[in-house]
A and B are shown apart, each in its own frame.
Chain A
């Protein structure tokens, strides 16, 4: 009985993350935003889009824009392999976004204690995408702040334009 209540309490503070590989780093995406994971498929290029948006795909009749996390994080361009996956993120109903990752590894459970808050560095544009660093055994997983990754900050956009 007490075990069960313990477990329930744990489940409440624990969050599940999908752990993905990108170059030689591991990133965690909160599972509640993940709608689906699909294999690489034909992407239709969208002209004049942001560089990191590779285009759109047809996901069972829905048009889903797909972005390359590698390009978003200024890493080497993607090389598509058999392990490459598109993670479909649904932040709000009716608008999904796909993220291209090198591979999907596993689902990890993290409680609050094993998550370190990120150090915020204003000069490093990439640090704004991080919600924290999770520790699983010896491994470190950078937890993504998914809404900031997908939604471009207005200021930056106007500066680019």
Chain B
């Protein structure tokens, strides 16, 4: 039977069931006797097994079958829920998730049998039903894990690198001029979240030392996270071996580095396609995709794995689609109305023409709104995996903590939802790992023993705000400044005048977070620049508030929708610019005589608030007006609580604009967030008020 057509549905539903299982297991851990939960878990596991069987995924079916057996016994009251059982079950869920990930990218379940989990489950089952202690069940499992990690480490994979003729030449030349040629295999810790970022940092530090001539997988794949937990490079450098090694190890979350002098293998004439196949089969698992791709189509072999066989899909409420359908039919009616007016060439019809335009406008606005609603998803789909993560962290770090979430139903644009998961996870991990103190320290400081991490999402005007809060130790700004001084990131003079806020901002600087063992200071700083970049890419911003001893709060602000916004069109000289309406507070006419000076900067006093003036023509290098008018048109914009007045030449009016990117090649110092095409085909640039305030 060809089940390919059901693959999408299978993946969607499996994800839902797995999420369900995760949530229910968390409940079960707290309330081991909750019958409803047990029933619920049993049902979900049962459907999973059935679906996996139908699709022909034997390994997945076997694992779920054994899990189901356990639940079945629990349901029948023959055994009780124990802590180690929950652990094994969670491991089982993780294994299922990795099956699913492989299926998603290759439509095959891979070759991992997960015997250890199955054995553990069966042992628990035997022990549990035999009313014996189930303690020994844990042993074999941990053992297999150890052997696994031992087998995985300390392997010098770089020796197997295949080089092109050009690369061999480069290496030989380097050897002639007495440069060192090293082969490195870098292992990243398996619990690392942003491994691509870590790999990037490794590359950055390698490139400071010398030249990377070869990497496997290729750099692009590494950047796209298309690698397991290790990668190999060939480096030409003048630095000695131990210096290279310490430099790489200085990047955090690196497990191990194997380094040795690189010897050029004798057989280097293989074609690219031939090279990839054996490597891929050797790696197995996710890389199996490479092998199949190679045999199928030699040309496609250059783009292996990673590319999912299934397109991403969204489930849309049928009601939303009905609304869309209605609007489209109205659109057709409006069009027909315009045609009939066009046919009756009378001038007296200009009235009904305007009517039709208004009608059309109403329809398009509604259409826009509905399409946006289709694109909106509750943030729940991202955050619902966090309780499980915090539970695991709590066990791993041996700290008691609790995650409190609110506003899971807050809706965000789909593109944002897809991207926001990683940064949030990073912030939560930071909060749990470094923010919260150890249980003893908490008690000593007079705080409740169990630490709290909060994740709050809510809508604020045209923005969605997500706060990640903890009641831990907060950020010790003095230590941060000291560390920055040690690193040479700031000068002592700068340090003198630094406010607490400036110090916290340091944490977001890339040079800072790549620092070695920054975790020892107050913890913060690991990858915060990565988080910041990602959020800014989504058009949002992040700030951090922290009170020493009371905890810290990371506040992420994201635009509600990305593509279409209302904007105020303004004129500067002969150029037109758009300012997003969302950031505009008011528009004021200010007589020149009202301008005051504070520290030689222009400000106005508007109804008791002092607002700095920003001359847009100067910021944007527009030819200034020859004669200064008697009064200025000032657009007051806000970012959070801060206000600023943008001086413009003229106001044109309000317009609904579609935001387009101006491409990544052109620099603009963040003042311009994009461009919009106006009715006459002209391009207007969109001013990012947030960057100016």
Residues of A that sit less than 8 Å from B by CB: 42, 44-50, 53, 56-58, 61-65, 67, 95-97, 150-152, 157
Q: Could you list 7 A-B pairs, sorted by A, with CB under 8 Å?
A: A46-B685, A47-B672, A50-B666, A63-B663, A65-B665, A97-B665, A152-B665
Tell me, yes or no, whether B667 is within 8 Å of chain A by CB. Answer: yes
**B621:A56 contact, CB within 8 angstroms:** no
State the CA gap A98–B672 with chains docked (Å).
19
**A42:B660 contact, CB within 8 angstroms:** no
Known contacts A56-B675, A58-B683; A49/B666 CB under 8 A: yes
CB distance from B511 to the nearest CB of A (A): 12
Known contacts A44-B675, A45-B575; A56/B668 CB under 8 A: no
Chain B interface size band reads: 20 to 34
**B663:A97 contact, CB within 8 angstroms:** yes
| Other contacts beyond A42-B682, A44-B682, A56-B666: 6, CB < 8 A | A44-B685, A46-B672, A48-B620, A62-B660, A95-B663, A95-B665
Known contacts A63-B661, A64-B663; A47/B681 CB under 8 A: no
**A49:B667 contact, CB within 8 angstroms:** yes
CB distance from B680 to the nearest CB of A (A): 10
State the CA gap A67–B681 with chains docked (Å).
20
**B664 — which chain A residues lie within 8 A by C-beta?**
95
Tell me, yes or no, whether B444 is within 8 Å of chain A by CB. Answer: no
- Of A44, A58, A151, the residue contacting B665 (CB under 8 A) is A151
7 cross-chain pairs, A with B, having the tightest CB-CB distances, nearest first: A47-B620, A44-B683, A65-B666, A48-B669, A63-B660, A63-B675, A65-B663
State the CA gap A125–B526 with chains docked (Å).
37
Number of A-B residue pairs having CB atoms within 8 Å of each other in the complex: 73
**B682 — which chain A residues lie within 8 A by C-beta?**
42, 44, 58
Tell me, yes or no, whether B677 is within 8 Å of chain A by CB. Answer: yes
CB distance from A161 to the nearest CB of B (A): 9
Tell me, yes or no, whether B193 is within 8 Å of chain A by CB. Answer: no
State the CA gap A65–B660 with chains docked (Å).
12
**A53:B685 contact, CB within 8 angstroms:** no
CB distance from B497 to the nearest CB of A (A): 23
Tell me, yes or no, whether B671 is within 8 Å of chain A by CB. Answer: yes
Known contacts A56-B683, A61-B677; A48/B663 CB under 8 A: no
State the CA gap A57–B666 with chains docked (Å).
13
**B667:A50 contact, CB within 8 angstroms:** yes
Which residues B648-665 have CB closer than 8 A to chain A?
Answer: 660-665
- Of B575, B666, B674, B684, the residue contacting A53 (CB under 8 A) is B666
Known contacts A63-B660, A63-B677; A46/B668 CB under 8 A: yes
CB distance from A18 to the nearest CB of B (A): 20
**B665:A150 contact, CB within 8 angstroms:** yes
Nearest neighbor of B620 in chain A, beta-carbon distance: A47
State the CA gap A61–B575 with chains docked (Å).
19
**B660 — which chain A residues lie within 8 A by C-beta?**
62-63
CB distance from B209 to the nearest CB of A (A): 15
Task: Please indicate which of the listed interface residues A45, A62, A150 has the most CB atoms of chain B within 10 Å of its own CB.
Answer: A45
**B621 — which chain A residues lie within 8 A by C-beta?**
47-48
State the CA gap A123–B22 with chains docked (Å).
61
Tell me, yes or no, whether B619 is within 8 Å of chain A by CB. Answer: yes
**A58:B681 contact, CB within 8 angstroms:** yes
**A46 — which chain B residues lie within 8 A by C-beta?**
662, 666, 668, 672, 685
**B681 — which chain A residues lie within 8 A by C-beta?**
58
State the CA gap A132–B486 with chains docked (Å).
47
Nearest neighbor of B621 in chain A, beta-carbon distance: A47
